[in-house]
Amino acid sequence: MLKRTRQESFSDKLYKFRGVILVVSVPLLLTSFVLLFMPRSSSDDGIISMEAGNRRASSNDPRSSPSPHGSKSYAAIFDAGSSGSRVHVYCFDENLNLVPIGKELELFVQKKPGLSSYAHNPHLAADSLQSLLDQAESVVPQELRHKTPVRVGATAGLRALEGDTSDRVLQAVRDFLEDKSSLKSKPDWVTVLDGTQEGAFQWVTINYLLGNLGKKYSNTVGVVDLGGGSVQMAYAISQKDAAKAPQILKGEGTYVKELFLKGTKYYLYVHSYLHYGLLAARAEILKAVEGSGNPCILNGYHGLYKYGGTAYEAFTSPSGSNLGNCREAAIKALKANESTCTHMKCTFGGVWNGGGGDGQKNLFVASFFFDRASEAGFVDPNLPVAKVRPVDFKDAAKRACETSLEDAKSTYPHVEEENLPYLCMDLVYQFTLLVDGFALDPWQEITLVKKVKYGNALVEAAWPLGSAIEVASSST
C-alpha cells in the first residue's frame, strides 16, 4: 500500500529554507542599499574623486566615437595668476575624455596684467576678465551655457596681497559673473586657490593627459610648477611613506592629499612655497644682497623692480653680474642653508620633501621653467616638451650673466624687454631651486613641459584642467 505524502505549501518551503534565504538575501539587500545611496563622485577641499564605475573608456583616447551632443559637458576655468589672467574651456564626453572644441581640444586665451595689478580698484579687476569671458561663452553651445560651470582660481598674486584686498577683488569678480555671465557660477567657485590645491590640480592634469590615472603610483610622474608668486611640487608616494608624513610647520594641514582617480587611490605629496615663484623670488634675491648693487642684474641696468606693492632698487654690483656671486644670493634667498628639519629629509626652509620614491623618478617641470629655457635658447619653443638637466640652466645662466644689457637685446630676442635685466637672476634661481632647494642631481634628466600630447592633439599642461575634471566629475 502506497503511503500518501503531504504536499508542502509555498509557505512551508519558505519556512524550511529560511536560513539559506536569510544568508543570501541580507548581503544583497545591503549591497543594493549602498549602491542606491552612494554618490557618483565627491569633492573635498579641492581633492578630486573620479568614479571608475561606467567610465570604461581610456582617459587618453579622444579618438573614440563621437558622443551625442546631449552627452557632452563643458567647463570654463579662469586662472587668475600673478602675471596675467587666462581662461581655459574644456569639453568632456560621458567618460570624462576630452573631445574637440572646433579644431582644438581646448580654448585657451590669456591677457595681462593679472587681477592683483588692480588691487586698488576691484571693479576694474573684474572688468578685465570681460574679453576672456566673451570668448569662453562663444565656444559653448547656447543651450548648454546655463549648466556649464565657470570657476575662477586666483593663485599666488592675490594670496600675497595684504588685508582684505583679495577678498574685495574676489567679491567684485563674483558680482561680475552673476551680472554678465550666461554660464553657471557659484560664489564658492571664485576663490583664492590654496597652493596645495594648485599643485594637486597640476599633478592630475599632467597624469590625466599622459594616460597614467588608474595605474599604480609608481607609474605616475611628479610635477614641479613654477608660477610667478609660488612654486609647487607634487608626486604620488606609497601608503607607508604617507603614514610617516609630519604636520606642516607653522600652520595647519598636512603634506599628503588622498585622491581617488579611475578606481585607484593615490597618496599625493604636495607642497606650495609662497614667495618662491619666479617673480616673487626676484624680490627675495634683491632683499638678500646688502650694500650697493646686485650681482644678478645685467650690466647697464638701473631701475626699480615692483612686486607685491613694493618697489626694490635694481642695479648691478660694481664688479658686474656674476654667476658665482648670484648663486650665493639665490641660496641666501632660498634659505637653503637654514633648514630647521633635523629628523627627516627636507627641501629648503625646513619643509619635508615627501621621502622621494618611484612617484618622483620621472619629473615634469612646468610654467616659467619652460619659458626661460626657450628664451635662453637651449629649448626649442616650438616643441611641447624637452628633456633637459638642471645643469643646463646653470650653463645658460653663465652665458647670460656675462652679457651686458645692451648686448642681451640682440642675443636674446625672445625675452620681453621688462624681463631682460633679470635673465641672469632667473636662470641662476631656477638652477638653485632645483639643485639646492629640491636636491635634484644636476645631471638628472627632467622633462620641461608646456603642452602634453593627448591623442593627436596638444593640451596646455596647466592646473585648470585638473579643476575642470573635478567639477565635471562631480556634476555628472
Number of domains observed in the structure of the chain:
1
Q: Looking at residue 21, what is its pLDDT?
A: 46
Q: What is the CATH classification number for the domain harbouring 144? A: 3.30.420.40
Residue 63 in this model has a pLDDT that exceeds 50 = no
Distances (CA, A) of 231 to 21, 136, 196, 450: 60, 28, 10, 16
The whole-number pLDDT of residue 330 equals 96
| Cα separation values, 163 from 122, 167, 192, 194, Å | 14, 9, 14, 17
**What are φ and ψ of residue 463, in 5° steps?**
-60, -25
> Which one has a higher pLDDT value, 57 or 117?
117
Cell 595681462 belongs to: 112
Residue 256: C-alpha distances to residues 176, 428, 468 (Å): 35, 30, 22
First to last CA, the chain: 71
Region for residue 411 given its phi and psi (left: phi exceeds 0; alpha: psi -120 to 50; beta: otherwise): alpha
**Residue 401: half-sphere exposure toward Cβ, Cα within 13 Å:** 25
Q: In this structure, what DSSP letter does residue 45 have?
A: T
What's the mean pLDDT in 392-402?
98
Q: What pLDDT sits at residue 363?
A: 97
In a domain, residue 344? The reply is no
Query: What pLDDT, on a 0 to 100 scale, did the predictor assign at position 34?
Result: 33
Spatial separation of the C-alpha atoms in residues 216 and 232, rounded to whole Å: 22
Cell of 338: 637654514
Judge whether 134 and 90 are in contact, CB under 8 Å.
no
pLDDT surpasses 90 at 345: no
Q: Does residue 179 belong to any structural domain of this protein?
A: yes
346-387 pLDDT tens trace: 788 778 888 889 999 999 999 999 999 999 999 999 999 999
- The alpha carbon of residue 10 and the mean position of all alpha carbons in its chain are separated, in whole angstroms, by 64
Q: Which domain holds residue 94?
A: 48-196+462-473
- Average pLDDT of the residues of the chain: 84
What is the pLDDT at residue 123? 95
pLDDT mean over 266-284: 93
Mean pLDDT computed over 141-149:
95
**Do the domain assignments include residue 144?**
yes
H or E element, residue 12:
helix 10-16
Can you give the pTM of this predicted structure?
0.81
Q: Is residue 14 part of a domain?
A: no
400 is a domain residue = no
Q: Identify the pLDDT of residue 17.
A: 52
Question: Which residue has better confidence, 46 or 286?
Answer: 286
Looking at the domain assignment, is residue 161 inside a domain?
yes
- Say how far apart CA 27 and CA 367 lie, in whole Å: 51
Please determine, for residue 210, whether its predicted confidence score (pLDDT) is greater than 90: yes
Helix residue ranges, H only, 88-194: 122-127, 130-138, 156-159, 165-180
Q: Which residues are catalytic?
A: 198
Residue 282 within any structural domain of the chain: no
Q: Is residue 94 assigned to a domain?
A: yes
